[in-house]
Amino acid sequence: MPYRAPVAEFEFLLSHVVGYDRVTATEAHAEATPDMVHALLTEAGRICEEVLAPLNRAGDMTPARLENGVVRTSPGYADGYRAMAEAGMTAVSADPEYGGLGLPQTVTTCVNDMAGAACLALQMNPLMTQGQIEALENHATDGIKALYLPKLISGEWCGTMNLTEPQAGSDVGALSTKAEPAGDGTYRITGQKIYISWGDNDFTGNVVHLVLARLPDAPKGTKGISLFLVPKLIPEADGTPGVANSLKVVSLEHKLGLHGSPTCVMQYDGATGWLIGEENRGMAAMFTMMNNARLGVAVHGVSIADAATQAAVAYATDRTQGKPLVEGGTGTILDHADVRRMLMEMKAETFAARAMALDLAVSIDLGHAGDAAQAARAAVLTPIAKAYGTETGIKLANIGIQVHGGMGFIEETGVAQYLRDVRVSAIYEGTNGIQAMDLVGRKMMDGGAAIHALIDAVEAEAEAHEMGAPVAAMAGALRAATEDMLGRDLNDRFGGAVPYLMGFARVMGALYHLRAATAGDTAGDRMRTALARFYIARLLPEAHGLFAQARAGAADLYDLSADELAA
């Protein structure tokens, strides 16, 4: 089925659910008016529908390949990338000084949502570049900015991030890639990196890598890591790509999904690099890029949730099977209560996950404008949005297959691709377990102040709504679970971290649905009220069980020995 860009849904969320008007009230984004955003989203939506969506299946069926050391991308990807770049979709929020549009991160989030739903494998390319642009804007020297940012922002070049090594996955501090000073202000980078999304392509003039490496005599662990910019082709002073650097793609990973996105093993053999930020402070610079990517990956989950939902509704609307048990039925499987349950869940969860991603983006924008409370709120929401968004994408892709029945298991329908493509999103940019550990660990180091502030706001708002009593009550249960977490040692918290995070997400999702149901948008009132009632009655109660699991701690997780687990 053809993809439909949900521009009207974004505009409703911005106007009635996430408070985008607070962003346009800031000096930095006063010009990002609803009219401007409407024009941009409409054009981006057209490109997603007409150019990107037709490429999704081609990328899956004809994967990127490595041919004589050159990455050959899937058919049509070069044209799709060019269309995005020419429309400014690859650098919506980048600094206008270097050619960017300078729009809020909230607008970038809407654009990325549509592009990911249309063709997730290709959208991953500009996502990596967006993160690199932000890292360079915040940590690079003026010379590096002047040389690299215009090319990255225009889409002439693209960017990657290189963290993982064969022996150093989530434990980044165990990396062994070396950086030796060359004596001329540059460094020689030597080592191997794996899982590098879009490590190379055949349609941009250069590929710019941000690489974590260790200087001689650097401290052990993450405190001894530095960040380096390492281009595929070393630019001349005028920005023209020059000689090839000492790096190469060793191989492409054979993956479950995202076949159109080349995931590379990269080898650096004394490659020329430039330090970004301070020596041994590379993680601070890299986290700028990673936090950008965590919002982007949350949106990947939303993108696939939306695409899978659109496909499921379209199939159910046409599929005739069985006898209707409801008066005035359609004669299709839409008449069946269980199919309705699945479709309602898909629509309700997609809305909640999308609202959370945009809510986070608004808090990021306000934090960048100097609002410390919103910056703290964004820090709390980041792991929740990443984990909930990606788990929602996986769940709804799976439900979408179920709605299709046996046809969902047949590759020709295309819906199995959604599940294969989105599955990795729960793993990269910090597994969802790590996101949950961050929430109950680092994000509680303030004694739970930022989390309690968020719960206070949810509780107060829910109490003011006619439908809000169950939401307010569950916010109280979240507060109790939070207090319980704060009273436990770290490993006990970790044992219940994932259910705690998912219960937190349930409460936030209910709040977004409450806002939508009472927004006064008369054309959609009935639909939004029905979805809110469904979410509050059927999905919100799951939080009771999740909070009970969160309180269980970690002791019982160690009841079986290693030998007993292997028996």
pLDDT, one tens digit per residue, over 473-510 is 999 999 999 999 999 999 999 999 999 999 999 999 99
* Rounded to 5°, angle at Cα 372 from 11 and 137: 75
Q: Which fold has domain 159-279?
A: Butyryl-CoA Dehydrogenase, subunit A; domain 2 (2.40.110)
Residue 80: pLDDT band with limits 50, 70, 90: very high
Rg (CA), the chain: 24
Q: How many residues does the chain have?
A: 567
| 3-class secondary-structure state, position 557 | helix
Lowest mean pLDDT among 1-10, 191-200, 277-286, 556-565: 277-286
- The residue among 502, 524, 496 whose CA lies nearest residue 391 is 502
Whole-angstrom Cα distance, residue 43 to residue 20?
20
Give the CA dihedral 442, 445, 450, 456, nearest 10 degrees: 110
Contact of 403 with 312, CB cutoff 8 Å: yes
Distance (Å) of CA 194 to CA 212, 433, 556: 12, 21, 35
Contact of 377 with 454, CB cutoff 8 Å: yes
Q: How much is the pLDDT for 396?
A: 98
Q: How much is the pLDDT for 1?
A: 63
What is the DSSP code (8-state) at residue 446?
Answer: T
Q: How much is the pLDDT for 285?
A: 81
Could you tell me which residues come within 8 angstroms of residue 239 by beta carbon, excluding any fewer than 6 positions away?
147, 150, 151
Q: How far apart are the first and last CA of the chain?
A: 47
Average predicted confidence (pLDDT) for the chain: 95
Could you tell me which residues come within 8 angstroms of residue 3 by beta carbon, excluding any fewer than 6 positions away?
48, 49, 53, 117, 118, 307, 310
CATH entry, 285-556, from 2.30.130.10, 1.20.140.10, 3.40.50.620, 2.40.30.10:
1.20.140.10
Contact of 100 with 93, CB cutoff 8 Å: yes
Q: How much is the pLDDT for 2?
A: 86
Higher-scoring residue by pLDDT: 381, 175: 381
Residue 170: pLDDT band with limits 50, 70, 90: low
User: Backbone phi, then psi, for 356, in 5-degree steps?
Assistant: -65, -40
Distance (Å) of CA 38 to CA 6, 33, 50: 12, 9, 18
Is 60 exceeded by the pLDDT of residue 389?
A: yes
- The residue among 97, 187, 206 whose CA lies nearest residue 146 is 97
Q: How much is the pLDDT for 446?
A: 96
Is 70 exceeded by the pLDDT of residue 522?
A: no
Residue 429 catalytic? yes
Lowest mean pLDDT among 49-58, 125-134, 486-495, 519-528: 519-528
The token pair at 129 is 């570049």
- The residue among 427, 482, 51, 466 whose CA lies nearest residue 263 is 427
Stretch 360-373: mean pLDDT, rounded?
96
CATH 1.10.540.10 in the chain: give the residue spans: 7-150
Strands 206-213 and 157-162, how do they pair? parallel
Stretch 66-70: mean pLDDT, rounded?
92
- The residue among 198, 303, 207 whose CA lies nearest residue 261 is 198
Is 80 exceeded by the pLDDT of residue 177?
A: yes
Stretch 390-410: mean pLDDT, rounded?
97
CATH 1.20.140.10 in the chain: give the residue spans: 285-556
Sort residue 221 into left (φ over 0), alpha (ψ -120 to 50) or beta.
Answer: left
Does this model's pTM top 0.85? My answer is yes
Whole-angstrom Cα distance, residue 277 to residue 139?
5
Q: Which residues pair with 210 in a beta bridge?
A: 161, 229
Q: How much is the pLDDT for 525?
A: 81
Could you tell me which residues come within 8 angstroms of residue 172 by beta carbon, excluding any fewer than 6 positions away?
163, 164, 212, 222, 225, 283
Q: Which residues pair with 248 in a beta bridge?
A: 267
Tokens 């490590």 -> residue: 199
**In 25-104, which residue ranges form alpha helices assigned H by DSSP?**
34-47, 55-61, 77-86
Stretch 206-215: mean pLDDT, rounded?
96
Contact of 150 with 107, CB cutoff 8 Å: no
Residue 69: count other Cβ atoms within 10 Å of its Cβ: 9
429, 459, 483, 542: the catalytic one is 429
Strands 206-213 and 226-231, how do they pair? antiparallel
Distance (Å) of CA 328 to CA 1, 319, 335, 336: 26, 17, 9, 12
Contact of 381 with 349, CB cutoff 8 Å: no
| 3-class secondary-structure state, position 153 | helix
Whole-angstrom Cα distance, residue 500 to residue 549?
8
- Burial group, residue 22, by CB count within 10 angstroms (0-12, 13-18, 19+): middle
The token pair at 160 is 């990657």
Residue 328: pLDDT band with limits 50, 70, 90: confident
Q: How much is the pLDDT for 173?
A: 64
Percent of the chain topping pLDDT 70: 98
Is 70 exceeded by the pLDDT of residue 520?
A: no
Q: How much is the pLDDT for 132?
A: 94
Q: How much is the pLDDT for 34?
A: 94
> In CATH, which superfamily holds the domain spanning 7-150?
Acyl-CoA dehydrogenase/oxidase, N-terminal domain (1.10.540.10)
Q: How much is the pLDDT for 408?
A: 96
